[in-house]
Amino acid sequence: MAQGRTVGRFKRNITAGPSVTVMPTSLRHRARIVTLQTLYELEFAANSETSILERNLKEKELPREVATFAGSLVSGVIANKQLLDNTIGRFATAFPVDQLAAMDRNILRLALFEITVSKEVPPKVAINEAVELAKEFGADTSPKFINGVLGSVISEIKKSAQ
């Protein structure tokens, strides 16, 4: 009988035989990747968010529900950019927001949008996703930095809820 266990971002099906099947990452994670790539490109390109997002989605050949989710994340982050940047500035005090690495800044924006605005996923999930994105796309120090900033945000949210 096959057993599934999670190893990193992949779920592995362990069978009695020597073959191991690696299943693809979750569709929501893939949507976050497209969102991050779109937000990052928007920092440097003169193209519209719609054209960049559509091109990124087309390149990845993702299902419609993933495209819809990615689109809502991109538009949500852009609509709340000032609020998100203010939050980043309060918790990442060592550097002004505009001096953070563009990738780190956009990972933080995305995670903070999910934690403080959309609230569709538990904060731990948003933090884990952000750390995974930082591991995939950021510098060596990015995961620790992202985790620290988001952990501080969560601590303040918990403190103010008491």
pLDDT score of 62: 84
Q: Which CATH class is domain 3-161?
A: mainly alpha
Instruction: State the pTM of this model.
Output: 0.82
Spacing of C-alpha 109 from chain mean position: 8
The beta-strand segments (E) located in the chain are 3-7, 10-14, 20-22
Gap between the Cα atoms of 89 and 112, Å rounded = 12
Evaluate if residue 146 carries a pLDDT over 60: yes
The pLDDT of residue 45 is: 86
Cα separation of 57 and 60, whole Å?
A: 5
Could you report the per-residue pLDDT of 90-133, keeping only the tens digit for each?
999 988 999 999 999 999 999 999 999 999 999 999 999 999 99
96 CB-near residues (< 8 Å, 6+ apart)? 89
2-59, pLDDT tens digit by residue? 444 333 443 333 333 343 333 245 889 999 999 999 999 999 988 888 999 999 998 9
Which pLDDT does position 22 carry in this prediction? 32
Give me the DSSP letters along 95-133: S-GGGS-HHHHHHHHHHHIIIIII--S-HHHHHHHHHHH
Q: Shortest CA distance to 116 belongs to which of 67, 141, 81, 148? A: 81
* Domain boundaries, given as residue ranges, for the chain: 3-161
Between the two ends of the chain, the Cα-to-Cα distance in Å is 47
Q: In DSSP terms, which residues pair with 13 in a beta bridge?
A: 4, 21
Task: Assign residue 119 a region (left: φ > 0; alpha: ψ between -120 and 50; beta: otherwise).
Answer: left
